[in-house]
Structure 1
Amino acid sequence: RRERGRKSQGVVVVFAWMSSEERHLKHYIDLYASCGWSSLVCHSQFLNSFFPEKAELLALEILNELLEELRINPVPVVFASFSGGPKACMYKVLQIIRGTYENQRENMDNYRIVRDCVAGHIYDSSPVDFTSDLGTRFVLHPSILRISNPPRFAQWIAKGIASSLDGLFLSRFETQRAEYWQTLYASVIFGAPYLIMCSEDDDLAPCQTICNFAERLRELGADVRLVKWTSSPHVGHYRQHPVDYKGSVIELLQKASTIYLQRTNQRGG
């Protein structure tokens, strides 16, 4: 579920979309590597979005591996989230390193180095307002399944799972949803810039939801660059608009390096 790159100028922690494989992420990993950054990839499962405990376990796994690398070679860290990646794992990472997750407060000192290294955020086709209905559409969407027409039995299974989740967790779902969005907004405390990319015709990550997210971050004082395309498929922006996408990512990584250097100099002073 994860892989780690070589020592470098920085580390991009990639929170990939559901059902993604290494081959789907190769172009992104290569892009970061061309800027001198290595990657730590987090592959999540569908149920992580509904079971916070599963998301927490995956978050701890990712954080422990990241911590191991940063202790040897402290460098800036950028969190890059795709599609449902924030709900499946990333928001738990944010809670743990901020010390707001009760189960992990005693380990706050262990993750302080990670918190000090966070220097940027990238959202690609993300964040999404996750519900069980949206979860069904995620499972059946061509960009997730990598097939144009999901078989009927797959549709039945996905809808059945969503219906069961509604019955089991309906009372908890709104609470989890509010906690999720509050955590994403609270990430402004890291003082790191945001690059948010979306498309007006993305039916899984509605443009208005993402634009509202970007605007709220700005209101909270964050440095936000919003890149919005008229037509681009879900998690397909790099493929559809390679020049704009690459330029935006390079700019964000450069900002992250500068911010990290400034912090290091301030602490050294």
Structure 2
Amino acid sequence: MVGGGGSVYWGARGSGFRGVVVIFAWVSIQERHLRSYVELYASLGWNSLVCHAGFLNAFASEKAMSMAIFVLNELLKELQIKPCPVVFAAFSAGSKACMSKVFQDKYGLVRNCVSGHIFDSGPVDFTSDFGSRFTLPSTILKRPVPAKVASLIVKGVSSGLDALYLTRFGAQRAEYWQNLHSSVCIGAPYLILCSEDDNLAPYQTIFTFAEDLRGSGADVKLVKLRGSSHNGHYKHYPIQYRAAIASLFAKAASIFSQRFQRLEEERTRMGSKYDEISELICDLQNAAVNSNQSLRRVATGPSDHFFLPSSVNDGYAASGSSDNERKESSNLAQNAPGISAHSILGQMLFDICVPKNVEGWDIKFSGSLNGQPYACARKLSPSRDIKSIRRSRL
């Protein structure tokens, strides 16, 4: 991605890498300076995905979000091939120009892989005073112009930013700090490198940010250097800087390993539960099939019958069924596979509660279903029993 919004490219992309560092930079740091950080990470076995945001990205939220989505998609392609630990490294205003929008992503794989954060000369706060000293490109400030002209340019930029902050950028500034603090939910350690002599990224602002992260339970290492300028910590303290980066990379690799080990254990546990549920469903289906086969044998011919009370059974047997037929039907009923209708599974399959005692039920065949007679049953009321007795006496 190359354009007015900046550029995104792979600074180093070796095959035997240990992880990926996503570099978020702004126009305040030049490409040749970024190259030294790419080489540092590569010497430690980490690839680098560079996001060099344009000037307006720090002030236009839409441009920052567009670049964040592009970075996430590019990173996701790499992680789908080989999941690995990911460290976000923000330089100067790169945290505002793109990085803060990345924390709003919904990519589960990316969030699971993020295992560390680096802030070099930041995070910076955006105020009108900051704009007057920082937003002007360094090329303009270095040009040989009269002091009055340079002063007018600075005042003009400052007053313009004041007007913008009173309307739109005030809400963006609050969202920016909220997004940075929300990164604690990822559960990754922080490395913050700063200097007391950095006027563009005041130490007090960075110290307050680090304390807020610690108060939220984050693992924060604050490295305060002396005499180094904005974005110049690695240049002035290369050995100490490299040791701090290597320590964070080791933490990130350990956290990534533990995190994915837990995920694999959860997947294995969920897989075993899924197998148990599948077996139970298969058993229920087999029981239902067997039960349906048993029910199809009921009332499929003149000789088939329900098991009725003795008095009714004798009367039905006298109507035409022979002893041999009844024996065969009884053997089929005893040998037929099925389940108990009074069990919990039986009630679930038949959706009824079958009574254990059917004495007193008037069961008779009425009509036919698909050419076959079917039985219906209803319980006699006490009054009907009395009427039947009276009629028999008459």
| Residue identity opposite 1:86 in structure 2 | S
Alignment partner, residue 138 of structure 2: 145
What SS does the aligned partner of 2:23 have?
strand
Q: Structure 1 or 2: larger helix share?
A: 1
Give the structure with higher Rg (CA): 2
**CA displacement at 1:137 relative to structure 2:** 1.6
CA distance in 1, matches of 2:168, 2:140: 33
What SS does the aligned partner of 1:126 have?
coil
CA distance in 1, matches of 2:79, 2:110: 7
Identity %: 57
Whether the 8 Å CA contact 1:19–1:45 is kept in 2: the answer is no
CA distance in 2, matches of 1:55, 1:155: 30
Match for 2:71 among 62, 79, 91? Answer: 62
**CA displacement at 1:20 relative to structure 2:** 3.2
Deviation sequence 1:108-133 (CA, Å, 0-9, x none): 3xx11111110000000000111243
| Residue identity opposite 1:127 in structure 2 | P
CA distance in 1, matches of 2:232, 2:39: 16
Is 1:216 the counterpart of 2:216? The answer is no
Alignment partner, residue 86 of structure 2: 77
CA distance in 2, matches of 1:147, 1:244: 33
Is 1:12 the counterpart of 2:21? The answer is yes
| Residue identity opposite 2:262 in structure 1 | Q
Whether the 8 Å CA contact 1:13–1:41 is kept in 2: the answer is yes
Whether the 8 Å CA contact 1:139–1:158 is kept in 2: the answer is no
Alignment partner, residue 170 of structure 1: 166
Match for 2:235 among 226, 234, 239? Answer: 239
CA distance in 2, matches of 1:158, 1:88: 21
CA distance in 1, matches of 2:164, 2:189: 38
CA distance in 1, matches of 2:152, 2:68: 31
Distance 1:214 1:151, change over 3 A: farther
Alignment partner, residue 103 of structure 1: none
Whether the 8 Å CA contact 1:122–1:195 is kept in 2: the answer is yes
What SS does the aligned partner of 2:192 have?
strand
Whether the 8 Å CA contact 2:190–2:221 is kept in 1: the answer is yes
Distance 1:156 1:15, change over 3 A: farther
Deviation sequence 1:78-134 (CA, Å, 0-9, x none): 000000001111000111x2xxxxxxxxxx3xx111111100000000001112431
CA distance in 1, matches of 2:37, 2:153: 31
Whether the 8 Å CA contact 1:44–1:85 is kept in 2: the answer is yes
| Residue identity opposite 1:251 in structure 2 | S
CA distance in 2, matches of 1:154, 1:79: 36
What SS does the aligned partner of 2:101 have?
helix
C-alpha RMSD of matched pairs (Å):
1.9
CA distance in 1, matches of 2:118, 2:139: 23
CA distance in 2, matches of 1:260, 1:179: 28
Q: Which residues in structure 2 correspond to 1:181-260 (within 5 Å)?
A: 181-260=177-256
Structure 2 unaligned spans of 5+: 1-6, 266-394
Distance 1:169 1:130, change over 3 A: closer
**CA displacement at 1:154 relative to structure 2:** 6.6
Alignment partner, residue 3 of structure 1: 9
CA distance in 1, matches of 2:118, 2:187: 14
Whether the 8 Å CA contact 2:29–2:231 is kept in 1: the answer is no
Whether the 8 Å CA contact 2:128–2:165 is kept in 1: the answer is no
CA distance in 1, matches of 2:230, 2:188: 25
| Residue identity opposite 2:169 in structure 1 | F
Alignment partner, residue 46 of structure 1: 55
What SS does the aligned partner of 2:73 have?
helix
| Residue identity opposite 1:210 in structure 2 | I
Distance 1:162 1:267, change over 3 A: same
**CA displacement at 1:169 relative to structure 2:** 4.7
Alignment partner, residue 125 of structure 1: 121
| Residue identity opposite 2:55 in structure 1 | F
**CA displacement at 1:174 relative to structure 2:** 2.0
Match for 1:263 among 252, 259, 264? Answer: 259
